[in-house]
Structure 1
Amino acid sequence: MERRAFRANGFAVLAGLLALGIAAAAAAQAGGMVLLSIAGIVWGVIAVVVATGFVVINPNEAKVVQFLGRYVGSVSDAGFLWVLPFTTKRRITLRVRNFETAKLKVNDADGNPVEIAAVVVYKVIDTATAAFSVDDYEEYVAIQSEAAVRHLATSHPYDAHEEGRTSLRDGAEVAAELTTELSDRTHLAGVEVLEARITHLAYAPEIAQAMLVRQQATQVVAARTQIVAGAVGMVQLALTRLAEEGVVELDEERKAQMVSNLLVVLCGDRATQPVVNAGSLYG
């Protein structure tokens, strides 16, 4: 787990070091050149030791501090700081990062080959875990993202032909599911996934043409169903209004003929040509 390392203002430590050198030089001058040389050597050794603790930290950046292999804490305060000397400092960025996975070819839940890719937005929230729990947290996130996208593709169909079934084209639901799964997978690396969203989704080239025909047929059937439902409602309305207002009296045979004609006009995919009957209605 991450913890804060000891730190001090770098400029204050540097000023103290310079003040110590001036004081040592002033005190050693009374003892002659030998004492002055010894004071200079001692101050030089102290300066070298202290200098190993200076570190510059940029905004949205942290340094993981280790002393002889032991983790002593992390520093995330931006500026010129001083930490324990003889320590190693590993840089960890805290900036929000994003990357897009490669286009993966996977079979969906119905067994159809699809091409899918996603963009993942994440950031490091635990520098110690990111530094020591995995070899390379960036590579870890990339591999886990690919695995999560593959699992998502195999769990849902490209198109849902059943009511209540989630498909890969349901953007918000699929994005939420992918984000949740990735968060669980990358928690071990000290990473928080902010968002994961599909950026590319298509049938594989070998079946794309056949699936396009299937989609077109599905859309045609759905459109025809809507048209027929509307036409039946209009015919019912026409018969009801004619009967209520007594415009004309129709027997069952003529009602059937009228219904047939109206449905042809309303459901046809081409413009109808009117035919004027100049004779008797029953002739």
Structure 2
Amino acid sequence: MEKNHEAKSGYLFVAVELLGLVVIVFGFASGLIIPAIVLLLVVVFLSRGFTIVNPNQSAVLILFGEYRGTIKKNGFWWVNPFFVQNKISLRARNLDSEPIKVNDKIGNPVMIGVVMVWRVQDTFKAAFDVNDYEHFVNIQTEAAMRKLAGLYPYDNFEDEDAEITLRSGGEEVNEELEREVTERLAIAGIEVMEARINYLAYAQEIAQAMLKRQQATAIVAARFKIVEGAVGMVEMALEELSTKEIVELDEEKKATMVSNLMVVLCGDKEATPIVNTGSIY
């Protein structure tokens, strides 16, 4: 588990180093060559313990293979010169993944990409529980994308009972993605601040076919609305003619009128009217 290491002030040891240099100079001047050389070696060795920890940065300390703690407080510090220091950034980072080809719930190949904001929360896990935590984030995010795509269809064209799809799922799909990525990255001490899909499309080999299918569906839906509106307009026209007694129509003429009105209202081209100046009979 991660533990904080209380490092000593680097400024205090700078003063100690300066005092040592003064003693060394005095030793050389006084002819005490060997003691001065020994003290110089000690001063040089102690200088290896100086370290600077910037804001939102940490230093993981290892002594002969043993974890001794992490410095998270920014500043100028001095630690045991035998410590091996591993600097780990605690800043938030963006991962904008390249779209990858995956299969959705019903097997359609789709291209999906995500954008994620993450940061290191536990430096012990990030340093020791995985080999390379940055590479680990990339690989596990891709694995989470593949699993997410397998949970939902791209849309509900083939699965009409699907309440949630990748295309229309919105926040629910993003929440599932964030939950999946969080679980996978917990082993590396990574905190996932946000994860969401930023690219979604059919794979190139089926994109044109699916586009035609979407267009056909849209045309059918539009025609349905047109026919529905046309029936209402014809019904209203017949009722108005009957109520206001403008003209008396038998069943055959009503059928002819309904047919003509439906052709005019549902046609995709403008109608060309023909004026009849004779008797309708």
Do Structure 1 and Structure 2 share a fold, with TM-score over 0.5? Answer: yes
Distance 1:198 1:247, change over 3 A: same
| Post-superposition offset of 1:273 | 1.2
SS at match of 2:112: strand
1:80 aligns with 2:76: yes
Instruction: Specify the alignment match of 1:141 in structure 2.
Output: 137
1:277 aligns with 2:273: no
1:66 to 62, 65, 70: 62
Contact 2:24–2:40, Cα closer than 8 Å, also in 1: no
Give the Cα separation in 1 of the matches to 2:30 and 2:208: 93
Contact 2:5–2:68, Cα closer than 8 Å, also in 1: yes
Instruction: Specify the alignment match of 1:96 in structure 2.
Output: 92
Q: Give unpaired runs (5+ residues) of structure 1.
A: none
TM-score, normalization by structure 2 = 0.84
CA deviation profile, 1:63-118 (whole Å, cap 9, x unmatched) = 11112211121112233222333111101112222233344322222222223333
Q: Which moved more, 1:81-90 or 1:13-22?
A: 13-22
| Post-superposition offset of 1:156 | 1.8
Aligned residues: 277
Distance 1:134 1:280, change over 3 A: same
Q: Which amino acid aligns with 1:71?
A: Y
TM-score, normalization by structure 1 = 0.84
What CA RMSD, in Å, does the superposition of the two structures yield over aligned residues? 2.8
Give the Cα separation in 1 of the matches to 2:227 and 2:77: 76
Give the Cα separation in 2 of the matches to 1:198 and 1:83: 44
Q: Give unpaired runs (5+ residues) of structure 2.
A: none
Residues 1-283 of structure 1: pairs in structure 2 closer than 5 A? 1-19=1-19, 22=22, 33=30, 38=35, 40=36, 43-161=39-157, 162=160, 164-170=162-168, 171-281=170-280, 283=281
CA deviation profile, 1:184-233 (whole Å, cap 9, x unmatched) = 11111111222333333333333233222222211111111222222233
Q: Which moved more, 1:63-72 or 1:258-267?
A: 258-267
Give the Cα separation in 1 of the matches to 2:30 and 2:263: 118
Distance 1:25 1:145, change over 3 A: closer
SS at match of 1:122: strand
Contact 1:103–1:115, Cα closer than 8 Å, also in 2: yes
Q: Which amino acid aligns with 2:3?
A: R
